Chains A and B, each alone.
Chain A
Amino acid sequence: MTLRTRTFAPARSRFLRGPAFSRRLHWIYLAFGLAFLAFVAAMALLEHLGLPRTWIGFLFLVGPIVFYAGIGILSRTTDPTEYYVAGRRVPAFYNGMATGADWMSAASFIGMAGTLYLSGYGGLAYILGWTGGFCLVALLIAPYLRKFGQYTIPDFLAARYDGNLVRVLAAVAAIACSFLYVVAQIYGVGLITSRLTGVAFEVGVFFGLGGILVCSFLGGMRAVTWTQVAQYIVLLVAYLVPVAWLSIRQHATPVPQATYGYQLQKVIASEKRLQADPAEQRVIAIFQARADAEQARLDDIAAALAAERSVATRRIAELKAANAPQGDIQAAERELARLPRDADAARDEWTRARDADRERAQPLAGMPPHAQQFAGDPRGDAAARRAFDESRRNFIALVFCLMVGTASLPHVLTRFYTTSSVAQARASVGWSLLFIALLYLTAPALAVLVKVEVFDALVGTRFDQLPAWINNWAHVDGSLLQVSDVNGDGVLQLGEIKIGGDIVVLATPEIAGLPYVISGLVAAGGLAAALSTADGLLLTIANALSHDLWFRIVDPKASATRRVTVSKVLLLMVALGAAYVTAQKPGDILLLVSAAFSIAASAFFPVLVLGVFWKRANRWGAAAGMVGGLGLTLYYTLVNQPGVRELLGITSPVQLWWGIQPIAAGLFGVPVGFALLVVVSLLTPPPSRAAREMVDDVRLP
């Protein structure tokens, strides 16, 4: 292998491999963990001494980032093997932690418990899908990648499928899905930063960018690996502490993961009580009446609009005639100006209002019963049966896409190049899933605990006695929490709370009655989750550009140092580009993330798996499989997306195939990719001798 270069003098290498290296790492990260706890304790002391909250928030942002930057600076390197794959000496245990942090994004940390809170069993598709995917990584991909032992996923595919056609396709697909994903991470960073310190969102984005770059810019994969381990420790502590506390407060064990089944029973009982509650039914009836009124306006838009205009105009005239105060007249004029400009604008606005009211006119504030598997009823009437079938089909399809997508995300797979052997790669997938499981077992428990709190303690409280956290959060951001006394009885009903999923994690410390310092800790954890994932993603994009497209195709004679330099420059450019896109606040962040999974699944899974398990697969089959699978997935996602349909002016009714939602588009892309790969391979000549020998080689340990 010409690409491998010696990095360390033999005298030092003894400390950089094997058990001695692991022992040294244990000490380092034990010290880091203790230092971090000391930091939290110091913050708690400062809060007790009266340091203002903004300062504590600020210190919680800056403190950990200084830690990470220190690791990044200590790990700086210009050596390709260090820069691309951390010197291939990361022990399985630590690669597991790093993969855990790499994998768990802002969506996992902040969004998941919220999704589970809002959709109950339906949200478990994410838990099941995102963990089951690691079985595919372990059984079908990681050991073979490690045996191949180069730098990127396109490297592997190019060697297996004879050349640069597949390399370019793979690099482009890797860049596309990683870029979608990184935008979502940087968005998360900006959100947390701006919320914690009160700076503008755009400033928060670029501040977070600095945090990302100090880790990845100087030391590449080497620095990213060791900061990710530290970030894993931070995010795990930040997630588990408030949940354990909340559980103790509800007179349960400090390990709610093991016992929340009984809290779930409470939730189920409360759901029955709330559904039968007359006050709740009144709230629902009020929202239904509002939705009906919106519908009536929509039935004859022109007349309704004209009527509203004339009412508003007459009111202004009356006020003027009665010599009313100037303020009242101005308010009435603003009212008139706020009316929709024309019939189209009116249709949009009123449709949105109608849908929002209809959504809130559902039992249990639109949430399905928490433990109910799938919507509808298999033994009910035709509509209920269809609802059940479609809901079940979509659940399974989503699980499938998330699993296969997990096993195809380039930034996660690259991590398995960094272990010291094939056996270590296999073990490290196990460690990864174990470390991820610690958080994923907790999220469903947290959702149930918060639901107990809301159903049993919050609902039924008088409006003048609401706990402080309600007002705090309603004040911070109306999209996260809104309460209003809809039926005017002075008591809070479940139907009167409008809740955004993200608040479940963010407000847990306050719900549990913990000091503000724990809120800072949670924000630091969310930031660690977003930064670690963004690091891995940016590195993947920059490496696909510099290593696969520039070095392998444009300038193969570039020296090792020059390659690393080019990669760093590209990393900076990609990071700035991603931050710029993020600062535009593209809508539907969750959609971006889910799209990345289906794209990765249909582009990479068939070629990676058949590349190892079917020797006859050749470059033409691989190219056809990637293009066909990816093309179908993109087509299905785009053409069924309301935003995109509007953009392209598509007016034909949405045509879902077997009722499958576009979020699970990979369900079609992946099998089509497999089929095309097989058929086209069989129609074209077999792969070269070198490719067949490579397959034999990666199959050996």
Chain B
Amino acid sequence: MPTSESAANPSRAARARHWRRTQRLTAALLLAWFVVGFVVTWFARDLAFPFFGWPFSFWVAAQGGIVVFVALIAVYARRMARNDRLLADEMHAADVPDPRR
């Protein structure tokens, strides 16, 4: 079982802030995922203007979507690394040990 140390208040606040930032980032990226995966697809017939030879919506389903998905995951990994560093700094400022093992 993962253990959970009984945390002092400043560290609890820092963790709460870390989680809120995580949630906001997750929600924003999921919105982008939804727009590319579903909204563009829903209007595929109307978005058929030529795009380097492909009809645009064909290109999105065959390539553009994949590229955006890779980018979303890369953004998530980078932003979360920053979020984790921020948490470590705040914990350090609150003088509690780094929760990362």
Q: How far is the CA of A537 from the CA of B62 in the complex (A)?
A: 28
Q: How far is the CA of A149 from the CA of B100 in the complex (A)?
A: 13
* Complex interface residues of chain B between 34 and 92 (CB less than 8 A to chain A): 36-38, 41-42, 44-45, 48, 51-55, 57-59, 61-63, 65-67, 69-70, 72-74, 76-77, 80-81, 83-84, 87
Residue of A nearest to B60 (CB): A128
Q: For residue A148, which residues in chain B have a CB less than 8 angstroms away from its CB?
A: 2
Of B23, B65, B84, the contact of A132 (CB 8 Å cutoff): B65
**Which one of B48, B62, B81 has the highest number of Cβ atoms from chain A below 10 Å of its Cβ?**
B62
Residue of B nearest to A426 (CB): B77
Q: For residue B4, which residues in chain A have a CB less than 8 angstroms away from its CB?
A: 693-694, 696-697
Q: For residue B33, which residues in chain A have a CB less than 8 angstroms away from its CB?
A: 132, 135-136, 139
Q: How far is the CA of A131 from the CA of B52 in the complex (A)?
A: 23
Q: For residue B81, which residues in chain A have a CB less than 8 angstroms away from its CB?
A: 423, 426
Q: For residue B73, which residues in chain A have a CB less than 8 angstroms away from its CB?
A: 134-135, 138-139, 426, 429-430, 433
Residue of A nearest to B26 (CB): A139
Of B30, B57, B77, B87, the contact of A430 (CB 8 Å cutoff): B77
Of A140, A400, A430, the contact of B74 (CB 8 Å cutoff): A430
With A440-B66, A699-B19, A701-B84 known as contacts, the answer to whether A127 contacts B61 (CB < 8 A) is yes
Q: How far is the CA of A698 from the CA of B15 in the complex (A)?
A: 12
Q: How far is the CA of A429 from the CA of B65 in the complex (A)?
A: 16
* Complex interface residues of chain A between 678 and 701 (CB less than 8 A to chain B): 690, 693-694, 696-701
- Would you call A427 and B77 a contact (CB within 8 A)? yes
Report A393 CB to chain B, min CB distance, Å.
Answer: 10
**A163 at interface by CB-CB < 8 Å:** no
* Complex interface residues of chain A between 428 and 474 (CB less than 8 A to chain B): 429-430, 433-434, 437, 440-441, 444
With A371-B54, A378-B45 known as contacts, the answer to whether A690 contacts B61 (CB < 8 A) is no
Q: For residue B83, which residues in chain A have a CB less than 8 angstroms away from its CB?
A: 701
Binding site secondary structure of chain A: helix
- Would you call B62 and A444 a contact (CB within 8 A)? yes
Report B88 CB to chain A, min CB distance, Å.
Answer: 9
**A373 at interface by CB-CB < 8 Å:** yes
**Which one of A135, A374, A378 has the highest number of Cβ atoms from chain B below 10 Å of its Cβ?**
A135
Q: How far is the CA of A613 from the CA of B23 in the complex (A)?
A: 9
User: Contact string, A42-79, partner B, CB cutoff 8 A, digits 1/0?
Assistant: 00000000000000000000000000000000000000
- Would you call A257 and B15 a contact (CB within 8 A)? no
Report A226 CB to chain B, min CB distance, Å.
Answer: 24
Residue of B nearest to A370 (CB): B58
Q: How far is the CA of A698 from the CA of B45 in the complex (A)?
A: 43
Q: How far is the CA of A347 from the CA of B14 in the complex (A)?
A: 72
Q: How far is the CA of A392 from the CA of B99 in the complex (A)?
A: 48
Q: How far is the CA of A430 from the CA of B26 in the complex (A)?
A: 15
Binds B, one of A31-39, A259-267, A357-365: A259-267
Q: For residue A374, which residues in chain B have a CB less than 8 angstroms away from its CB?
A: 44-45
Q: For residue A1, which residues in chain B have a CB less than 8 angstroms away from its CB?
A: 1
- Would you call B66 and A373 a contact (CB within 8 A)? no
Q: How far is the CA of A395 from the CA of B65 in the complex (A)?
A: 15
Residue of A nearest to B23 (CB): A613
Q: How far is the CA of A700 from the CA of B11 in the complex (A)?
A: 12
**A399 at interface by CB-CB < 8 Å:** yes
**A675 at interface by CB-CB < 8 Å:** no
Q: How far is the CA of A127 from the CA of B38 in the complex (A)?
A: 13
Q: For residue A149, which residues in chain B have a CB less than 8 angstroms away from its CB?
A: 2
Q: How far is the CA of A295 from the CA of B76 in the complex (A)?
A: 58
Q: For residue A440, which residues in chain B have a CB less than 8 angstroms away from its CB?
A: 66
Residue of A nearest to B63 (CB): A441
Q: Size band of the B side of the interface?
A: 35 or more
Of B23, B37, B52, B69, the contact of A399 (CB 8 Å cutoff): B37
With A697-B3, A701-B80 known as contacts, the answer to whether A396 contacts B30 (CB < 8 A) is no
Q: For residue A700, which residues in chain B have a CB less than 8 angstroms away from its CB?
A: 15, 18, 87, 99-100
- Would you call B65 and A128 a contact (CB within 8 A)? yes
**A501 at interface by CB-CB < 8 Å:** no
- Would you call A132 and B37 a contact (CB within 8 A)? yes
- Would you call A371 and B87 a contact (CB within 8 A)? no
Residue of A nearest to B33 (CB): A135
Q: How far is the CA of A132 from the CA of B67 in the complex (A)?
A: 10
Q: How far is the CA of A444 from the CA of B42 in the complex (A)?
A: 20
**A403 at interface by CB-CB < 8 Å:** yes
With A430-B74, A700-B15 known as contacts, the answer to whether A134 contacts B69 (CB < 8 A) is yes
**A121 at interface by CB-CB < 8 Å:** yes
**A124 at interface by CB-CB < 8 Å:** yes
- Would you call B41 and A395 a contact (CB within 8 A)? yes
Q: How far is the CA of A423 from the CA of B100 in the complex (A)?
A: 11
Residue of A nearest to B19 (CB): A699
- Would you call A127 and B66 a contact (CB within 8 A)? yes
**A143 at interface by CB-CB < 8 Å:** yes
Q: For residue A138, which residues in chain B have a CB less than 8 angstroms away from its CB?
A: 72-73, 76-77
User: Contact string, A132-164, partner B, CB cutoff 8 A, digits 1/0?
Assistant: 101110111001000111000000000100000
With A124-B61, A693-B4 known as contacts, the answer to whether A371 contacts B55 (CB < 8 A) is yes
- Would you call A262 and B53 a contact (CB within 8 A)? yes
- Would you call B1 and A264 a contact (CB within 8 A)? no
Of B19, B51, B58, B69, the contact of A124 (CB 8 Å cutoff): B58
Residue of A nearest to B51 (CB): A261
Of A139, A147, A263, the contact of B29 (CB 8 Å cutoff): A139
6 residue pairs, one from A and one from B, having the closest CB atoms: A261-B53, A373-B44, A124-B61, A261-B54, A693-B4, A701-B84
Selected A-B contacts with CB under 8 Å, 12 pairs: A127-B61, A132-B37, A139-B30, A159-B2, A259-B53, A261-B52, A263-B53, A396-B41, A699-B15, A700-B100, A701-B83, A701-B100
* Interfacial residues, chain A to chain B (CB-CB below 8 A): 1, 121, 124-125, 127-128, 131-132, 134-136, 138-140, 143, 147-149, 159, 257, 259-265, 371, 373-374, 378, 388, 392, 395-396, 399-400, 403, 422-423, 426-427, 429-430, 433-434, 437, 440-441, 444, 613, 690, 693-694, 696-701
18 other A-B residue contacts (CB within 8 Å) besides A121-B44, A127-B62, A396-B42: A124-B62, A131-B66, A131-B69, A135-B33, A135-B73, A259-B53, A263-B53, A371-B55, A373-B58, A388-B45, A399-B37, A422-B84, A430-B70, A430-B73, A441-B63, A441-B66, A613-B23, A701-B80
* Interfacial residues, chain B to chain A (CB-CB below 8 A): 1-4, 15, 18-19, 22-23, 26, 29-30, 33, 36-38, 41-42, 44-45, 48, 51-55, 57-59, 61-63, 65-67, 69-70, 72-74, 76-77, 80-81, 83-84, 87, 99-100
